[in-house]
Structure 1
């Protein structure tokens, strides 16, 4: 087909998903359509078209869950109908919600989705931008007027954009429990007054829970409601989510998953269930895969819910998915970040997503906008990333025609001078030491504070596997099957960092 765009004629190999009259809107191909919004679903030769096979995916989830020793898992697959007819959605579950209680996992069970919550918090922030309360460039101090940070200059210059893009430099894993009251977020942000910077404001990218908790506080200040109430009113209700919750007393009335930690053939149930209320905006939502996919579908349709309700403007939806900042390490999650969304390029196609890890539960969400496909996986063991890789490789290949990148798995058969890397690196709650041992390079990891208790972390020593890329190593933390990247780099101003687990760890003197 061809479309006339501001006087130009553009040939598009695609089908129209839907069209709506608007004034002006930006679409995925970066062209501007004046007067009408058309959502395109490109047609490529390798785009699968057969119906989703529930029996097949039930069998594969059963087999892969057992293979990886995961107590329970819930898988959801969404495929938009390119003709605008009924979309396909499939949800299956396998195993148990609790190894101790033996409750069967079902497609309707509720799981902790952890940090996927951040994209929901970012969405509410963008709703407030749509409503004109502030812009991305607004200094946070203009909203939270009593904001005090360890670095006074950062407190003055920090913007909403810095928080959304994980570029604030504020230590990201300050998980202070400030109680169960409605003032939990206010108390948390007040307690950041002594927290130091891991890197200069805007200088690099480092995953930051603290920043998203601060975004939750911004939501509270602007709406006059708690974050919990605001997320329900502005997202759960318009999306029609009946079992999504943010508080443990709400989730307990539904069949809910319990976290576990590896224990050989007998996974160990977590001793606690919920994260502190103060951490809610960074990881506090409980939901099923079907509800996660309802949220994903809204973003895939330009901010519109299944019933046609406008939840987020098309412009803000596009901005959330657009490139905002590059990541210094592009293997673990993605090559860049949007506003809340992780961005990756797999098999030549842009992929959006986010992961969640909290109290022995792991969740994964990936969207392939070009294929109209979203996949959600909820699990209840901390070692689930190995299961994620197997499941998503199969699902995305068969449903979206997308091959995930080859797994990062360096052999270590590379001679590397460790002198530039040896030393201590760390943040408030995590410390690493890189050693040049006779048996090969090592990295020690020591956890402390609330984060150590939350993830039941134990200090460990792991082998580092050098690669042919200068400054890039692999590590299998705690004996996991998957290999994670460890990247050493420096800022233009000379500061040196070890980037691991999506965090920038500054080198210590």
Structure 2
């Protein structure tokens, strides 16, 4: 495979427009306030485009060899490891997990439940969501699985419904360790990184930092702020492998070419087919133009008009974003990785660049910059309204004394806005965005902080208003008695 650090190796002059891709990527970076980005496009067994943009904040510009955390794109690598062990006869996909981890137990409605390896891979095991802050940063994979993911209370019966959870792949990572007799790190290095010549890929932040890991950023109210966050080793199988565009091109080439890279086979063609077989229907993510999406094993399969359109997986950490996309019919794939993490990331860059590479127009997508601006405007409007409400508190008693209608209106308004609303925001706020407080705190600390502060201030205002309402009500009641 061609080695190229910063620049373009076109398939042929008419097949790929490096200028169009370049303009598209730089425009998207500006919109999303991305500091550093790396992208690679591979066709069959050749890198046809690879380039770094911006600065890695290490004193050097980003290149095709600059490491980034790839987030949940790590899941596909863990799935590959499981399939390799299956082909060696060490794992059976339809065997219960507790055959490999005898101490592992799971329950559904207080009844013992049996989860298979395949269900973990397909994300339909019923295992609940699991996030980085559910475990200690220095916990090992074994510690995370034994201490945090044992005796699980399942959300659904195993094998029934799709429920995305990092826990599935952390458990798979522990199975890889037990079955192979190696640490997850050693296994991935020996069986994936070395044969695929992934020389700038790591399962260790310390090693990655010694090799110029790009600095990560968190978005605070639409603006990226540098964030050196803990590395969760115990969650590496589900979301913390570190790699670069060049290495991931090698990896994607093997996935597209029946498990082969150059003259090396890391998995049989049947194994790759199993890995990419769409199995469990999921929700169609916002921002995609797919008609239907099904989860395979560490990959999402997008359908359009009944046919497979894309095979992809995004990777989000608190301070990094990655996106791997494959167009099977064209045997072309892209990897995009950048240094801004969170809930709102530039998820349109990878598929857009890939469409340009095959001479198609990128699908219409939401402008990330516009979305961030709208969110900031909402923040400002809500903050202004809360401040006005606090300032008007001084005259609240006078207003409700003017008439019974005003008294009743303000009593109902206070109940809804100052009591029910803040309680609802605290109890159900994250769920309105399809998340949990744990996820929101990790990926969007700004939204978390804002929701909490607004809820507290509204509730305090509500307490003062309630005291005044009660005082006015008591006074009116006395006046009526006296009459």
Q: What is the TM-score normalised by the length of structure 1?
A: 0.67
**Structure 2: gaps of 5 or more residues:** 1-10, 368-419, 452-483
Bigger mean CA deviation after superposition, 340-349 or 136-145:
340-349
**Structure 1: gaps of 5 or more residues:** 1-46, 81-85, 410-422, 425-429, 435-441, 463-509
Task: Work out whether residues 130 and 165 of structure 2, in 8 Å CA contact, stay in contact via their aligned partners in 1.
Answer: yes
In structure 2, the residue matched to 1:343 is 301
Higher relative contact order (CA 8 A, sep 6+): 2
Q: Which of the residues 381, 392, 396 maps onto 2:340?
A: 381
Aligned: 1:89 with 2:48 = yes
In structure 2, the residue matched to 1:301 is 257
Q: What is the TM-score normalised by the length of structure 2?
A: 0.70
Instruction: Give the Å deviation of 1:392.
Output: 2.7
The separation in 1 between residues aligned to 2:278 and 2:122, in whole angstroms, is: 10
Aligned: 1:432 with 2:421 = no
2:301 aligns to what SS in structure 1? Answer: strand
Aligned: 1:313 with 2:268 = yes
In structure 1, the residue matched to 2:25 is 61
Q: Residues 36-435 of structure 1 correspond to what in structure 2 (within 5 A)?
A: 50-80=14-44, 87-98=46-57, 103-151=60-108, 156-175=113-132, 176-178=134-136, 180=138, 183-263=140-220, 266-274=223-231, 276-306=232-262, 308-329=263-284, 335-346=293-304, 349-382=308-341, 387-390=346-349, 392-393=351-352, 395-401=353-359, 407=365, 432=428
Task: Work out whether residues 71 and 97 of structure 1, in 8 Å CA contact, stay in contact via their aligned partners in 2.
Answer: yes
Instruction: Give the Å deviation of 1:192.
Output: 2.1
Per residue, is there more strand in 1 or in 2?
1
2:428 aligns to what SS in structure 1? Answer: strand
Per-residue Cα deviation, 1:144-194 (whole angstroms, up to 9, x for no partner): 01112354977651000110001011112143335646x542443343235
Instruction: Give the Å deviation of 1:225.
Output: 0.9
Task: Work out whether residues 105 and 112 of structure 2, in 8 Å CA contact, stay in contact via their aligned partners in 1.
Answer: yes
Q: Which of the residues 437, 440, 443 maps onto 2:432?
A: 443
The separation in 1 between residues aligned to 2:23 and 2:284, in whole angstroms, is: 35
Instruction: Give the Å deviation of 1:324.
Output: 1.4
The separation in 2 between residues aligned to 1:247 and 1:278, in whole angstroms, is: 11
Instruction: Give the Å deviation of 1:387.
Output: 3.2
The separation in 2 between residues aligned to 1:130 and 1:239, in whole angstroms, is: 18
Larger Rg: 2
Instruction: Give the Å deviation of 1:263.
Output: 3.8
Indicate the RMSD between aligned Cα atoms, in angstroms: 3.3
Task: Work out whether residues 171 and 208 of structure 1, in 8 Å CA contact, stay in contact via their aligned partners in 2.
Answer: yes
1:146 aligns to what SS in structure 2? Answer: coil
Instruction: Give the Å deviation of 1:384.
Output: 8.5
1:299 aligns to what SS in structure 2? Answer: helix
Aligned: 1:456 with 2:456 = no
The alignment covers a number of residue pairs equal to 380
In structure 2, the residue matched to 1:419 is none
